[in-house]
Amino acid sequence: MPEAITGSCLCGACSYSTDVEPIDIRACHCTLCQKATGAPFYARVRVPLDTVEISGPVGWYHSSPELRRGFCPKCGTSLFSERASANSIGLCMGSLDDPDRFKPTEHIWVSKKQAWLNLTDDLPCYEEFPPA
């Protein structure tokens, strides 16, 4: 069985855990992710939604018809990006208890990347979504 993936918000009111292998690990540079995280990109570990146990109060905001984002209503930490129709949830890498455990394997939506950001990690880059 894989080692559990756990995380929490800044104040500790919200936490989560799952014990599955990630579906994928990506850095998204789209403008919605930039706005939602307040960062130049959103690094996340995506896992099946039905495997994640969430504790504590979570606020949700629909940033698009298909995607809602979860955050701690107490401290404001961004925690999740949930796509229920695909049974998937992205866990914000900055909220992981062990953020060095994973690293992105590709960059998506680099067409919206901030101009000052130079991607020099030799990972695959996709203008929008990667090919299916």
Classify residue 130: in a domain, yes or no: no
Classify residue 127: in a domain, yes or no: no
The answer to whether 26 and 46 have CB atoms below 8 angstroms apart is: yes
Count of the separate structural domains present in the chain: 1
Q: What CATH number did the domain enclosing 63 receive?
A: 2.170.150.70
Classify residue 38: in a domain, yes or no: yes
pLDDT digits (tens, 9 = 90+) for 72-97: 999 999 999 999 999 999 999 999 99
Classify residue 89: in a domain, yes or no: yes
The answer to whether 30 and 102 have CB atoms below 8 angstroms apart is: no
Type of residue numbered 34: Q
Which domain covers residue 43, as residue numbers? 5-112
Classify residue 90: in a domain, yes or no: yes
What residue spans of 7-100 are helical by DSSP H?
31-37
**What pLDDT score was predicted for residue 20?**
96
Classify residue 46: in a domain, yes or no: yes
Quote the pTM value.
Answer: 0.93
* Interatomic CA distance for residues 93 and 99, integer angstroms: 6
100: CB partners within 8 A, 6+ apart: none
pLDDT at residue 116 greater than cutoff 80: yes
**Structure tokens given for 89:** 């949830």
pLDDT digits (tens, 9 = 90+) for 14-62: 999 999 999 999 999 999 999 999 999 999 999 999 999 999 999 999 9
